Amino acid sequence: MNLLPFGKLPPAKPRSFVPAEINLGDWPLIAPLFDQLERRAAEAASVAAFEKWLLDWSELSAALDEESSRRNIAMTCHTDNAEAEKAYLHFVENVEPQLKSRQFALEKIYVAHPQRKNLPPARYEVFDRDVKNHVELFRPENVALETEEAKLGQQYQKLIGAQTVTFRGEEKTLVQMGRYLEEPDRALRQEAWELVAKRRLQDVDKCEEIMDELIQLRHQIAKNAGFDNYLEFIFRQKGRFDYTPADCVKFHDAIESEIMPAVREIQDERKRQLKLEKLRPWDLAVDPQNRAALKPFADVSEMVLRTQKIFNHLDAELAGNFQEMQDKKLLDLDNRKGKAPGGYQSTLSEARVPFIFMNAVGVQRDVETLLHEGGHAFHAQATRGEDLYPYRNAPIEFCEVASMAMELLGSEFLEEFYAPAEANRARKTLLEGIIGFFPWMAVVDGFQHWIYTHPSHTRGERKAAYLQLMNRFGGEVDFSGFEEVRAHSWHRQLHIFLYPFYYVEYGIAQLGALQVWANSRANKAKALGDYKTALTLGGSRTLPELFAAADCKLEFSAATIKPLIQLAASELKKL
**Model pLDDT, residue 33:** 98
| Phi, psi (rounded to 5 degrees) for 334 | -85, 150
pLDDT tens column, 295-318: 999 999 999 999 999 999 999 999
For residue 164, the surrounding DSSP H or E stretch is strand 164-167
- Alpha-carbon distance 349 to 361, whole Å? 29
Helix (H) or strand (E) holding 359: strand 353-360
What is the rounded distance in angstroms from the CA atom of residue 211 to the CA atom of residue 205? Answer: 10
- Phi and psi (nearest 5°) for 108? -65, -40
- Residue 560: closest CA among 241, 259, 243: 259
What's the confidence (pLDDT) of residue 292?
Answer: 84
Supply the pTM of this predicted model: 0.89
Q: What is the pLDDT of residue 3?
A: 81
Q: 53 Cβ partners below 8 Å, 6+ apart? A: 37, 40, 41, 44
Strands 353-360 and 331-334: parallel
Pairwise CA distance, residues 58 & 54, whole Å: 6
295: left (phi over 0), alpha (psi -120 to 50) or beta: beta
Give the angle 87-93-95 at the CA atoms, nearest 5°.
80
Sequence-ordered alpha helix ranges (H) in 361-498: 364-382, 396-410, 420-453, 459-473, 483-487, 494-498
DSSP for residue 91: I
Neighbouring residues of 129: CB distance < 8 A, sequence distance ≥ 6: 239, 241
The bridge status of strand 170-173 relative to strand 164-167 is antiparallel
Question: pLDDT below 70 — which residues of the chain?
Answer: 1
Handedness of CA 502, 504, 508, 513 (dihedral sign): positive
Q: Tell me what pLDDT residue 29 has.
A: 97
Cα separation, 418 vs 421, in Å, equals 8
Give CA–CA dist 41/349, Å, rounded: 24
Q: What integer pLDDT is reported at residue 104 of this predicted model?
A: 93
Q: Encode pLDDT of 379-398 as tens digits.
A: 999 999 999 999 999 999 99
2-28 pLDDT per residue, tens: 788 898 899 999 999 999 999 999 999
Report yes or no: 330 and 352 within 8 Å, Cβ to Cβ: no
Position 521: which residue type?
R
Q: Report the run of H or E that residue 172 belongs to, with start and end.
A: strand 170-173
Element (H, E) at 358: strand 353-360
DSSP E strands in 267-340: the ranges are 331-334
